[in-house]
Amino acid sequence: MNGGNEKMNEDAIKDIRERIVKVGKELYEHGLVTGPTGNISARIPGTDTAIIKPSGVSMGLLKPEELVLVDLQGNKIRGELSLSVETPMHTAIYRARSDVQAVVHTHAPVATAFGIAGVEILPLQIEMFMFIPKGVPIIPFEFPGSKELAEAVQKKIVDFDAVILENHGVVTVGSSIEEACDLNKLIEECAEVQYMATVLAGKDVINWENLKKKFKI
């Protein structure tokens, strides 16, 4: 980087840092992450680099200067703190989808419970077809930070904007930091609605066949 490009990139980095911190606090306040759990990252537009939350820092207390700059192979470029263990998963997503500008991973409690129970989240409200037209698939358990997890997410995220990691939370992507955050919150809302509907009507009523008939799809 040099000259005007350097300033442009530094301005972009500053903007992304501030937006990540804002969204991180929003996720924390919504109860989708607690303590130092979860992670969030954003691609620097027009580059093969991204900014990611470091390990061991709460999203509720995150500061812009604490965020770490990495390349899309997961190598640290800039930053004092340790990389998130999930950096390989984030960078694998960016390598798989050039349209993705941000990745959010939370431990949204109800949606996470669906993953543990092996129950797929469906778009039960017709408006949800705009966001999760094919539902939210569950990725079988792999250890956090492992190559196997990164590869499994990379393969599935090609066709979905949201996935549940079995025993490990929810991953959403978007064309902006805010969009990825909003989708994560939406998945938790969908999970809450589906849980309540299942309690009221029974699990046999909640299925793709009934949805397709009702919504004529």
The answer for residues whose C-beta is within 8 angstroms of residue 94's C-beta and 6 or more apart is: 43, 50, 72, 100, 103
Give, in order, the Cα–Cα distances in Å from 169 to each of 75, 142, 164.
Answer: 24, 12, 6
User: Do the Cβ atoms of 141 and 67 come closer than 8 Å?
Assistant: no
**H or E segment and range at residue 63:** none
Rounded distance between C-alpha atoms, residue 132 and residue 112, angstroms: 17
CA-CA distance, 60 to 28, in Å (whole number)?
Answer: 5
Other CB atoms closer than 10 Å to residue 111's CB: what's the count? 26
Q: Which residue has the tokens 């309540």?
A: 196
Catalytic residue numbers, as ranges: 86
Is residue 104 a contact partner of residue 52, using CB atoms and an 8 Å limit?
no
CA atoms of 148 and 164, how far apart (whole Å): 15
